[in-house]
Amino acid sequence: MALKSSNLLRSHLFYGFLLKWRREKSRVMAKPLKFKGVDEELQKILDANMDEAPARRRAREAFKHIQLGLDHILFKTPLDGLKMKESYEMNSRGLEIFSKSWLPQTSYPKAMVFFCHGYGDTCTFFAEGIFAYCWIARKLASCGYGVFAMDYPGFGLSEGLHGYIHRFDWLVDDVIEQYTKIKENPEFQTLPCFLFGESLGGAVALKMHLKQPNAWSGACLVAPMCKIADDMVPPWILKQILIGVANILPKQKLVPQKDLAEAAFRDIKKRELTPYNVIAYKDKPRLRTALEMLRTTAEIEQNLEKVSLPILILHGENDIVTDPAVSKALYEKASSSDKNIIIYKDAGHSLLEGEPDDMINRVFSDIISWLDEHSSNTAG
């Protein structure tokens, strides 16, 4: 009887959830964000449905000149002496993948750094020079590193439904495929290869390592998504409902979520620039995507002791997006004999984009010092 009552309760909750979703779908959508200096024609491009890659590509090209005018410390790194290249390639799943590289122009790279971006993000916003990764890429290339980045399927300029992850393992395999082709280039075959994962990209990097235990020289993990903070996860009963609904409506944007920019960016002025990343995924997470992230973090949390490569873990003490306690657990449980962790007092989630300038400079200095040391050790 108790079991029947429980099933009845779940049934009522399920249909109540569907009714709420239908009501929300029928509401008029909020007025799109308007930007200064944007004419009516450009605004139409920005207001278009970004579910598919062609619309995102049009928006990126049309809005680039606005992004280049933003005032941010990370935009002030010069391009002199760097070779940059963008490309689209069809992968083995028939998806066109966007990638970008930064190389020193007058010297041979001393190592290669492969970037794994965060949830909803794109390497193109960084590539345009606004936020952290372009700054890091330029700085690293200026220091003699070859730097490579890509947009995951469904994110940024790569093909796929925007913000949709059907299988996290497929996404990881796509990244492995793309980066393996670069590693196998005769020009780079002998170089040390480091993974650089930020937030969800930290989970991608760890999964890549677990699939390829001996393929990488080390990993730098910035606020890695080893576990999503409890405050960002829906209540248990709602999570059970979402799991059920995901079997019927996997691509629907139904998962409740706090404002990520507010949660991740401590510096208010930098937080105000986040809307200018016009091709980032900013809607509610799609059901299947949210469940895949939860499953992946649970899997990683259960396999921390299998992490055996040299690692640098960086996390903000006050991060409320990904849990710094699990970064500490990764450091303690990882079987690697070469591991280091830095917890930054008062810092939040976006260590390289959303902090005051002095903190951003400090974090970058720690990254470049670690890479310099491990590049020379590996080369030796």
Q: How many domains does the chain have?
A: 1
Alpha carbons 126 and 102: distance in angstroms, whole number: 12
Predicted pLDDT of residue 230:
73
Is 9 within a domain? Answer: no
Mean pLDDT of 214-243: 85
Q: What is the pTM of this model?
A: 0.86
Between the alpha carbon of residue 137 and those of residues 131, 142, 295, the distances in Å are 11, 8, 31
CATH of the domain at 71: 3.40.50.1820
| pLDDT over 70 percentage in the chain | 82
8 Å CB contact between 196 and 115: yes
Is 18 within a domain? Answer: no
32-90 tens-digit pLDDT = 566 666 778 888 888 899 999 999 999 998 887 666 555 555 555 556 788 999 999 99
Nearest CA to 75 out of 142, 139, 161 is that of: 139
Is 328 within a domain? Answer: yes
**Residues 6+ away with beta carbon under 8 Å from 248:** none
Is 230 within a domain? Answer: yes
Strands annotated E in the chain: 82-90, 96-104, 111-116, 145-150, 193-198, 218-222, 311-316, 339-344
122-155 tens-digit pLDDT = 887 544 444 455 677 888 888 899 999 999 999 9
The residue with greater pLDDT, 100 or 257, is 100
Domain span at residue 330? Answer: 35-379
> Tokens 């606004």 — which residue?
130
Is 50 within a domain? Answer: yes
| Average pLDDT of the chain, as a whole number | 84
88-125 tens-digit pLDDT = 999 999 999 999 999 999 899 999 999 999 999 888 75
